[in-house]
Amino acid sequence: MAGILAGKKALIFGVANDRSIAWAVARELHAQGAELAFTYAGEVLEKRVRPLAEGIGSTIVLPCDVTRDQEIEAVFQEVGRRWGGLDILVHAIAFARKEDLSQPYVQTGREGFHTALDISSYSLVVLTRHAAELMKGRGGAVVTLTYMGSEKVVPNYNVMGVAKAALEASVRYLAHDLGPEGIRVNAISAGPVKTLAASGIAGFRDMLHLVSERAPLRRNVDPAEIGRTAVYLVSDLGSGVTGETLHVDAGYNVMGM
């Protein structure tokens, strides 16, 4: 298929169902000709992810819980064996315990803090390290998903805001480490989208409503818009951009009042 990503191989982490932002990204990368591989976190999700992946001609669909180093290693080994290299890594993974997304942030326990930071932030570091091995000699691009709760207080976002701040800082440090190898690392700071992960945040419906009233574009973002921004960041269109966090939020983040 022709397109600006024709011949490129992309590994996607974070599809849970057809409402996932990772799925919107996958569809846009596919539309631009990229060949895709997917991972899923647990058997329950396999039933949803496999048919979606196969529907767009993907034959590499592997289990990966990012808290398990062995599963991560197995994914990259298999991708290396099948493709002999990698051009694009999409990281769209986050998790925090439900109680940590509703009680006051000051109540966050040690375990909840570690869980959120491990799954939502550290996973980018370890996945990027493995991806960089497969990108050696050919360059590549990594894109992750973040949210404005890293920069400003968003009630109930809590420990996830702290995890996203660590994620965005990681994007900058990874960009510095891997720039000499021609590997770019960027984040998309997306406006609220109704997904499985979002449903865990207390008051999420109010966030959607507020954005539709106050954002400069007076609406919420369409997941496809996030996907097309990912195409820009991972393709030659974004060849001069790395270490960046790009807001795709109908402009909401620029508002002060």
Q: Which residues are tagged catalytic? A: 147, 157
Residue 138 CA to its chain's centroid (Å): 22
- Residue 128 interacting with ligand NAD (CB under 6 A): no
Measuring CA to CA, which residue among 11, 12, 185 is closest to residue 83? Answer: 11
CB 53 within 8 A of CB 11: no
The residue range among 82-90, 143-151, 178-186, 231-239 that interacts with ligand NAD, by the rule CB under 6 A, is: 143-151
- Could you give the string, one character per residue 40-79, with x where binding to ligand NAD holds by CB under 6 A and - elsewhere? -x---x------------------xxxx------------
Output the smallest distance, CB 164 to ligand NAD, in A.
7
User: Which residues from 226-255 bind ligand NAD, rule CB under 6 A?
Assistant: none
Question: Do 236 and 182 contact (CB within 8 A), yes or no?
Answer: no
Tell the smallest beta-carbon distance from residue 251 to ligand NAD (Å). 15
Exposed, middle or buried, 181 (CB in 10 Å: 0-12/13-18/19+)?
A: middle
Check if the beta carbon of residue 98 is closer than 8 Å to that of residue 108. Answer: no
- The region of 9-17, 50-58, 76-84, 128-136 touching ligand NAD under the rule CB under 6 A is 9-17
What is the smallest separation between the CB atom of 27 and ligand NAD, expressed in angstroms? 13
Tokens of 222: 């369409």
**Rounded-to-integer distance, Cα 229 and Cα 52, Å:** 21
Shortest Cβ 80–ligand NAD spacing (Å): 20
| 20 touches ligand NAD by CB under 6 A | yes
Q: Does the protein bind ligand NAD through residue 195 (CB under 6 A)?
A: yes
Token duo for residue 106: 């000051």
What residues pair up with 36 in beta bridges, in sequence order?
10
Question: For ligand NAD, which is the closer residue by CB, 136 or 214?
Answer: 214
Q: How far is the CB of 179 from ligand NAD (least distance, A)?
A: 23
φ/ψ (deg, to 5) at 133: -60, -45
Extended beta strands in the chain, E state: 9-13, 35-40, 60-63, 88-91, 140-146, 183-190, 245-248
Positions touching ligand NAD (CB under 6 A) are 14-16, 20-22, 41, 45, 64-67, 92-95, 119, 145-147, 190, 192-193, 195-198
